[in-house]
């Protein structure tokens, strides 16, 4: 009998996070402040607690996971590694397809892997309230969950159009004590300004980030901070528990090493979480193909330039060295909301630049076709973001069949799609567009960053 | 460290189902046909395939699970047994609370444990299409899933009000190839008749059952049958895999025997699945308290009489010996749709009658309070049905604290609540009613069965 689920005992959970920065051949370019110089810890102190700022800037290879953080993660971790035997049989591939199942967390995705430590470090630093933004609500619900357990207040600015159209994750946030408001809101001066100018705006992540940061930094008691669910180094760090667990589990399954590693990449965190511990092996000579996958509608890594750009649309964040489509880029309304980000985590971007990763883009129709095949073979219903990893896994399994090679494929099953069933409905109705960014649109959106500095100059 | 998750290796999955009928001190009263005599296998042959009819009437203690059925169940089974350590800590109870996590199946509940073998046995019997009814969609999505994998057509008659108000499970069914229509429909003569008389009816399970059965028996090719998700003996049988797995896992956790076993009971299948293998121990002398829990709004076991009654509202089924509120009973609109059935599985009813079970009823406000405490301690969001088991587990854990006893509590976590978040919203808004059936309503609803035969006369 083939072993389909590989569990790790609780005592075998990784006790440290892995920091890729320690092993990169070249140091990544630092974030720049408004003065064009690298940001210092003090400049971030009103936004993040100092213990997380230290992690953000750390070059230490291994960072201990606090025992109390592990105790919270045990609610769903170690997460299962599973083998997609039914898909393999359907494809008649000699490849062995493994996936790390991050859909088993209470909010249903990998997001709480960083929400929990972020809430815990803030609490330890004496913070009483966290603010954040959310689009479809994945991150907002993960942070609400983490704050509820740790004992922090949580305020979530949710992009208005999602707030109105996606009631389910809003209920999840509320259930875990999160205070979720539609953005733009009347609660910040930036929100009020936008509402005065554009009373009917559907909102945007850019606006919501600006409101969440304003809420945090304007609290005169100093007890409020802001939390971000992707992009930053400390977020990638917290997610490496995924790859570290997967490594142990692959050994239990009798595999020496994966040949191909795949993760979908929006801001980059679930991809980094699975892949970074293996990127380390690749730096040390292992022969592994590591593929971040993204939508053709938002092809940051496959078509954007590597440049300094702002993390948000309003340009309130430091400049980050990353692949970007320009901070003014408004992606088409694809269902994979978590992959609609204009930029990419600086660490993921840097690894692409160094030739360690081989990004690919897929259109959403191909992704939903893959998701449907997944549901009809493996049974589970994946998130639209995750379908971008499955599309690539299927492509690679078919290639292995053509080549007659017994390859080991590992991908990250970043979340379930039970809150995103309407996307499946549109697909089954034949209503989905194969969006692909045109040269003209790309050129236009890059206009907004033409005066921003190049990396390394 | 406390062990929070107890996994069973795939090769240790039970290879046989357990049939309680073999061990009951007294034989249960048989179902009666229209002539008042016990039904014969032939009388059911147009509705069910003969291999399932044999299981329905079997008195054999152990029945082999076909290898091909196991191969499908492995997609999510063995299901984890988990220990609710965070809830225990919150309650400061000396009790050890274990729960069998049936929420990990692709459709999110215990239902596919029987949907899969039912689809498989029908396929083996040469059947090409299954029909069924569904309320909120739990059973319809489970049967669609099973038919898709086995290779059967699946037609689901969904109560119109749910069809209109609950789009999510409808999309799940469609995704797995199920053909779901609103009931009453234009597709059956019974449906057309109802639509002519009551064009604006919201529909009912009674109507949907009648349509599904008519669809099955009127197929002149003889290739269509009907499938039921609860109540019947063979459904209870298939669900015993839950309790058989739990027994092995409790041993792995170092527990000799549970003191208290709890499951919510609507038609009775998830409760029977967990408890029947332990009811066997109780019959053989073990000291176990076994508690089916139900809503005070639909208190079949706690307040209904034990009588012969029809399984459906239109009285098209054989008469079943069971606790019942009367087949004309229309329960109030509580969120736990799966517990709104007027009757109870004959085997569960019989075991209550023999004093083997101790039913209890809870109102939905108390249940949602328990569900919220669960989400804030254990993390996960449970189904409204499941909250009726959690309410009882908490009550028993508090009692153990008062008594200072280290009791072992085991309950069935029958499903997740991710498709039922609107109930949580109503609860948080303070809009839920503590429905409790009045004496007058009970008396009135029992009018419909006053002329039906008593059991054992």
B286 CB near a chain A CB, below 8 Å?
no
The β-bridge relationship of strands A306-310 and B153-159 is unpaired
Residues of A in contact with B380 (CB under 8 A): 75, 106
In whole angstroms, give the CA distance from residue B294 to residue B296. Answer: 7
Could you tell me if B16 lies within 8 Å of chain A, comparing CB atoms? no
Helix (H, G, I), strand (E, B) or coil at A408: strand
**How does pLDDT run across B357-406, given as a tens digit for each residue?**
999 999 999 999 999 999 999 999 999 999 999 999 999 999 999 999 99
Cβ(A343)–Cβ(A284) below 8 Å: no
Gap between the Cα atoms of A140 and A158, Å rounded: 8
pLDDT averaged over every residue in chain B: 95
The answer to whether residue A86 neighbours chain B at the CB level (below 8 Å) is yes
What is the structure's pLDDT at B118? 98
| Nearest CA-CA partner of A352 in A290, A307, A399 | A290
What does each C-alpha distance from B3 to A11, A19, A134 come to in angstroms? 9, 29, 34
Interchain pair A75, B172: CB under 8 A: no
- A108/B148 touch (CB, cutoff 8 Å), yes or no: no
Pairing mode, if any, of strands B289-295 and B360-362?
parallel
Contact status of B15 with chain A (Cβ, < 8 Å): no
List the Cα angle A187/A191/A195 in 5-degree steps: 115
**Rounded Cα distance, B79 and B5, in Å:** 10
pTM listed for this prediction: 0.96
Q: What DSSP assignment string belongs to A195-220?
A: HHH-TT----HHHHHHHHHHHHHT-T
CB-nearest to A418 from B418, B424, B428 is B418
DSSP designation for B94: S
Query: pLDDT tens across B75-122, in order?
Result: 999 999 999 999 999 999 999 999 999 999 999 999 999 999 999 999
* Nearest CA distance, A136 vs chain B (angstrom): 15
What strands, in cross-sheet order, belong to the sheet with A408-413?
Answer: A5-6, A81-83, A96-101, A408-413, A260-264, A289-295, A360-362
- Contact call for residues A344 and A301 (beta carbons, < 8 A): yes
Q: What is the pLDDT of residue A1?
A: 54
How many angstroms separate the CA atoms of A154 and A134, rounded? 12
**Domain B5-12+64-108+233-449, CATH number (from 3.30.1360.10, 3.40.50.880, 3.40.50.10800, 3.40.50.1100):** 3.40.50.1100
Sorted by where each begins, the domain ranges of chain A are: 5-12+64-108+233-449
DSSP state for residue B382 in the 8-state scheme: B
CA dihedral B332, B336, B340, B343 (to 10 degrees): -140
Instruction: Dig out the tokens for B17 from the structure.
Output: 């189902």
Q: Which one of A15, A171, A173, A180 makes the best mutation probe of the B interface by having the most chain B beta carbons within 10 Å?
A: A171
Task: Say what the pLDDT of residue A118 is.
Answer: 98
For A30-86, write each residue's pLDDT tens digit: 999 989 999 999 999 999 999 999 999 999 999 999 999 999 999 999 999 999 999
pLDDT digits 0-9 by tens, A175-221: 999 999 999 999 999 999 999 999 998 888 888 998 999 999 999 99
Nearest-CB residue to A1 (from B10, B176, B419): B10
- A-chain CB neighbours of B375 within 8 Å are 106, 175-176
- The string of pLDDT tens digits covering residues B20-71 is 999 999 999 999 998 999 999 999 999 999 999 999 999 999 999 999 999 9
Chain B residues in contact with A380 by the CB 8 A cut-off are 106
pLDDT value of residue A10:
92
Is the pLDDT reported for residue B1 higher than 60? Answer: no
Calpha distance A124→A120 (Å, rounded): 6
Which among A263, A409, A288, A287 has a CA at the least distance from the CA of A348?
A263
CB A378 within 8 Å of CB A397: no
Interface predicted TM-score of the whole assembly (ipTM), two decimals: 0.95
| Positions of chain A with pLDDT lower than 50, given as ranges | none
CB-based contact, B1 to chain A, within 8 Å: yes
Query: Is the CB of B375 less than 8 angstroms away from the CB of A175?
Result: yes
- The dihedral region occupied by B212, where left means phi > 0, alpha psi between -120 and 50, and beta the remainder, is alpha
Helix locations, B253-384, DSSP H: 269-283, 300-303, 346-353, 364-377
Question: Of the candidates B206, B347, B351, B361, which has an alpha carbon nearest to the alpha carbon of residue B298?
Answer: B361
Would you call B285 an interface residue with chain A, using a CB distance cutoff of 8 Å? no
Best of A12, A74, A75 to substitute, by most chain B Cβ atoms within 10 angstroms, is: A75
Residue B5 contacts A, CB cutoff 8 Å: yes
Cis peptide before A184 (omega within 30 of 0): yes
Contact assignment for B422 to A171 by CB distance below 8 Å: yes
The pLDDT of B294-303, averaged and rounded, is 96
Using a CB-CB cut-off of 8 Å, the residues of chain B touching A176 are 375-376
**Which chain A residues contact residue B376 at CB under 8 A?**
148-149, 176-177
Contact A75 B379 (CB under 8 A): yes
In chain B, what is the greatest distance between 2 CA atoms, to the nearest angstrom? Answer: 65
């Amino acid at each position: 009998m083939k072993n389909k689920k590989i569990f790790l005992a609780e005592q075998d959970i990784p006790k440290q996070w892995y920091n890729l920065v320690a092993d990169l051949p070249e140091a990544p370019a630092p974030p720049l402040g408004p003065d064009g110089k690298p940001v210092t810890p003090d400049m971030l102190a009103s936004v993040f607690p100092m213990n997380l700022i230290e992690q953000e800037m750390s070059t230490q290879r291994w960072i201990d996971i606090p025992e109390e953080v592990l105790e919270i993660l045990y609610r769903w971790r170690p997460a299962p590694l599973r083998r997609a035997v039914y898909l393999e049989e359907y494809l008649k591939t000699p490849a062995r397809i493994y996936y790390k199942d991050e859909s088993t967390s209470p909010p249903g995705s990998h997001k709480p892997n960083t929400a929990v430590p972020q809430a815990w470090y803030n609490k330890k630093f004496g913070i009483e309230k966290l603010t954040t933004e959310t689009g479809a609500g994945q991150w907002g619900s993960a942070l609400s969950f983490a704050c509820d357990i740790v004992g922090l207040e949580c305020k979530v600015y949710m992009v208005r159009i999602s707030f109105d159209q996606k009631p389910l994750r809003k209920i999840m946030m509320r259930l875990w004590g999160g205070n979720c408001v539609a953005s733009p809101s009347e609660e910040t001066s930036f929100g009020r300004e936008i509402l005065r100018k554009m009373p009917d705006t559907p909102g945007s992540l850019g606006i919501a980030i600006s409101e969440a940061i304003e809420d945090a930094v304007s609290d005169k008691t100093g007890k409020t901070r802001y939390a971000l669910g992707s992009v930053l180094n400390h977020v990638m760090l917290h997610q490496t528990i995924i790859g570290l667990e997967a490594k142990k589990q692959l050994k239990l399954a009798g595999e020496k090493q994966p040949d191909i590693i795949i993760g979908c990449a929006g801001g980059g965190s679930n991809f980094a979480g699975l892949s970074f511990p293996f990127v380390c092996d690749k730096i040390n000579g292992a022969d592994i193909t590591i593929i971040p996958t993204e939508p053709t509608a938002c092809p940051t890594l496959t078509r954007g330039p590597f440049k300094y750009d702002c993390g948000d649309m309003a340009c309130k964040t430091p400049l980050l060295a990353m692949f970007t489509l320009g901070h003014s880029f408004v992606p088409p309304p694809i269902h994979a909301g978590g992959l609609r980000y204009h930029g990419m985590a600086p660490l993921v971007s840097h690894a692409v630049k160094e030739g360690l990763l081989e990004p690919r883009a897929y259109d959403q129709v191909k992704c939903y076709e893959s998701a449907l095949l997944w549901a009809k073979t493996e049974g589970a219903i994946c998130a639209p973001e995750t379908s971008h990893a499955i599309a690539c896994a299927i492509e690679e399994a078919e290639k292995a069949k053509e080549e007659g090679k017994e390859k080991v494929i590992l991908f990250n099953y970043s979340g379930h799609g039970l809150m995103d069933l309407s996307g499946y409905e549109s697909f089954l109705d034949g209503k989905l567009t194969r969006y692909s960014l045109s040269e003209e649109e790309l050129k236009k959106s890059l206009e907004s960053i033409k005066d921003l500095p190049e990396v390394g100059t």
